[in-house]
Amino acid sequence: MKTKAIALLVLFHFFHAGLMAQEKKPNDTSFEWYDMSLPMEDRIDALISAMTVDEKISQLMNANAPIPRLGVKEYDWWNECLHGVARNGRATVFPQAIALGATFDTKLAFQVATAISDEARAKFNIAQKMGNYHRYAGLTFWTPNVNIFRDPRWGRGQETYGEDPFLTSRIGVAFVEGLQGNNPKYLKAAACAKHFAVHSGPEALRHQFDAVVSSKDLWETYLPAFEALVKEAKVEAVMGAYNRTDGQACCASPFLLQDILTKQWGFKGHIVSDCGAIQDIWKDHHLAKTPAEASSMAIKAAWI
């Protein structure tokens, strides 16, 4: 992972989500990253330079610690909205993704996602006023699931749009565009394409399963939806899967994260692991001897 990518994790809820979309306050004059007159890259560079190594590390979990001396609030990245804002009080419940896919209606998918992001913004504004920076209160949604549903033993199939790569691509792009909005500078909310890649095997084995796939099937079946979300919808995040693909842990695969995602597709957002997937690298896949080594493998795999 690039150093700038680490800073992007820190800054997302300030910059990309538009939380700092106001004039710089007088008491913020020492914080260059609050200066909206500066280019985004300059603001990111300024914050990186101000952070210690420990502070950067503290921002690499789903629950990020605050950095009071730099004016950075705590933030939890864990949130989902596959068919409505999840686990955050009352919200509109739309049909699950598999039913939405069955409509073959991209305009409807866009409208559903737009309604979800409207509610997400409203809930987020309330949470901020209450000082609630905890799980399910943020604007980073681990949605949509654009895996291809081929195996009925997989317990997450209902989260997908079905078995067709083209349909999944079209519905997925529309959903991401509805969630992220069309503001040229800020995201309405952040979408996440998951689970990258070839994640649809037996549910009980998902933490140790090796998805052996031919090159033809990889490129024609499992990757098209991810490519569409990255290139067309400019999805903010991509989540690595629990499983291995052709022997490499998906969250520590230079082939998936560097060669395909970043170099070939030009992905500019941030990469996140599935919950506990870094632990899987050493505990279940046995590709690392220690948790520290597994963490190192994941970071280096995304490093350009």
- Which are the catalytic amino acids? 274
Provide the CB-side half-sphere exposure for 160 (13 A, CA): 27
Structure tokens at 152: 């009925």
Which helix (H) or strand (E) covers residue 112, if one does?
helix 106-130
Preceding peptide of 199 cis, ω within 30°: no
In 3D, which of 132, 155, 136 has the Cα closest to residue 145? 155
Please report, for residues 151, 234, 282, the alpha-carbon distance to residue 228 in angstroms, rounded to integers and kept in the order given.
23, 9, 32
Q: Count the Cβ atoms, other than its own, within 10 Å of residue 77.
A: 23
Residue with tokens 């804002």: 85
**How far does CA 78 lie from the centroid of its chain?**
9
**Mind giving me the DSSP string for 43-87?**
HHHHHHHH--HHHHHHTSSSEEPPBGGGTBPPEE-----BTB--S
Cα separation, 193 vs 225, in Å, equals 9
In 3D, which of 261, 289, 291 has the Cα closest to residue 276? 291
